[in-house]
Amino acid sequence: MPMTSPALLPTDGQLSIADDLLTRLRTTTTEPRPDEQLEALMLAVAADLPVLLWGEPGIGKTAALTQLAATLDLPLTTVIASVHEPSDFSGLPIVGDDPAVQGVPMAPPQWAVELVRAGRGLLFLDELSTATPAVQAALLRVVLERRVGALQLPPGVRIVAAANPRASAADGWELSPPLANRFVHLHWVHDRDVVVRGLGGIWPRAQLPRLVPERLPEAVAFARRAVCGFLEVRPTLIHRLPATEARRGGAWPSPRSWEAALTLLAFGTAASVSRDVLALLVRGAVGDGPGLELLAHLDRMDLPDPESLLADPPLAELPARGDLRQAALEAVVAAVGARPERERWEAGWAVLVRALETGAPDLLVGPATALAALRRDDWEVPEPVERLAGVVGLARRADRSVERVAAAAGSGRTTGAHRSTGTHR
């Protein structure tokens, strides 16, 4: 018996079903999920700094910008830079009735007029690395001054661009140094878990940084102190144009990019972002090398004052992170060495005991050895050395020092000290 085919719907009915299927596929939800690169993007946009997303084709840069615009409730205006002429950004000359008197105004393109009418929006400059050098030159005023021809974009407009590395861009160009130096560069990479969960219908939710109003004065003061203090000791990094064309097209230090780093540091401090997010932003503003140096400088700024630690060792508060704790202990030893006095030397040992009570003992070996080397011959070995002997092996070295003093001076007091320490050999 021949099988009968089900009745076919009219063509428009099939398209309606197809549209319904596409709608279901495109309907997704979001969830709070830690995403450092998305958080860095949101913070830079909140700081009103132009951002350039670098990533391979198909990595999700455009999708991230679409979600960003939705989160900020901003209309998204996408301009493909590579298919435009320089006049599309610098304006088209319009000759009026009396150009000798009135001049020749530069008429802006329609997308710029619509942004001004809206008063706010997210301008997305896509395919920036395939734009010709002439178009890149025309974009300079758009990115920095927010001017398109004779039109001034309103303050409510944020600018984000995207580019592919030259190796994976169609007929790509390196970014010109003046244009590159106007952006905060973020390298966009995919996260396997985010992609898999997103294809399942749940993407991470973009959220604006939660700025704490009470922290704003402190954040500004900290950022200025950090950047200015760093550049005082590293003045050669105030302006350093990279030697190669490829590196000039990325992030590099200049007074303009240091100003951006200062702004990002203030915003990051006010929002209490993680160190990893702050690292992405600072390195994206001034480059990897200078950015990492600034981050190391921030760590040193967070170290406690060694004189405060020496003044009250039993209540000394040492950093929890291992590298910072060791740096703080080394600073204490350096402070004692700068002004070696018996009371300060004994206070240094008390600080090491405090560190032993509150942290890992292996961090004490270097500072304790350096502190032992500062001992004068007429200084008795303090009791804290006994408590540390089993950890850092200093008791035998202290005994020998005391023996030398006892032999030279014949002092019964130092000999007694020798006997007290000798029980722990």
115-140 burial, b if ≥16 CB within 10 A, otherwise e?
beeeeebbbbbbbbbbbeeebbbbbb
The last residue of a domain, from among 301, 335, 370 = 301
Question: Do 51 and 130 sit in the same domain of this protein?
Answer: yes
| Domain membership flag for residue 99 | no
Give the structural domain span for 248: 213-301
Question: Do 273 and 313 sit in the same domain of this protein?
Answer: no
Which residues are bridge partners to 211 per DSSP? none
Q: 146-168, pLDDT tens digit by residue?
A: 998 888 999 999 999 999 887 66
> How far from chain centre, in Å, is Cα 248?
20
Decide if 116 contacts 154 (C-beta within 8 A): yes
> How far from chain centre, in Å, is Cα 330?
27
The last residue of a domain, from among 301, 318, 353 = 301
Question: Do 274 and 314 sit in the same domain of this protein?
Answer: no
Per-residue pLDDT at 196 exceeds 60 = yes
In this predicted structure, what is the pLDDT of residue 17? 92
In this predicted structure, what is the pLDDT of residue 390? 66
Q: 235-290, pLDDT tens digit by residue?
A: 999 999 999 988 999 999 999 999 999 999 999 999 999 999 999 999 999 999 99
Domain count, the chain: 3
The last residue of a domain, from among 283, 301, 319 = 301
| Domain membership flag for residue 115 | yes
- The burial class, CB within 10 Å (0-12 / 13-18 / 19+), for 424 is middle
| Domain membership flag for residue 228 | yes
Question: Do 227 and 286 sit in the same domain of this protein?
Answer: yes
Q: 63-103, pLDDT tens digit by residue?
A: 888 888 888 889 999 999 888 888 888 877 676 556 655 56
Beta strand segments in 183-307, E: 184-187, 202-204
Question: Do 43 and 143 sit in the same domain of this protein?
Answer: yes
Angle between the N-to-C axes of helices 342-358 and 365-372, in degrees from 0 to 180, rounded to the nearest 10:
170
| Domain membership flag for residue 315 | yes
Question: Do 244 and 320 sit in the same domain of this protein?
Answer: no
Question: Do 200 and 277 sit in the same domain of this protein?
Answer: no
Pick the closest to residue 121 from 148, 162, 160, 92 (CA basis). 160
Q: What is the CATH number of the domain that holds 59?
A: 3.40.50.300
What Å distances lie between residue 45 and 50, 59, 339, 370, CA to CA? Answer: 7, 20, 49, 48
- Mean pLDDT, to the nearest integer, of 183-193? 90
Question: Do 81 and 179 sit in the same domain of this protein?
Answer: yes
Q: How far apart are the first and last CA of the chain?
A: 102
Question: Do 278 and 160 sit in the same domain of this protein?
Answer: no
| Domain membership flag for residue 11 | no
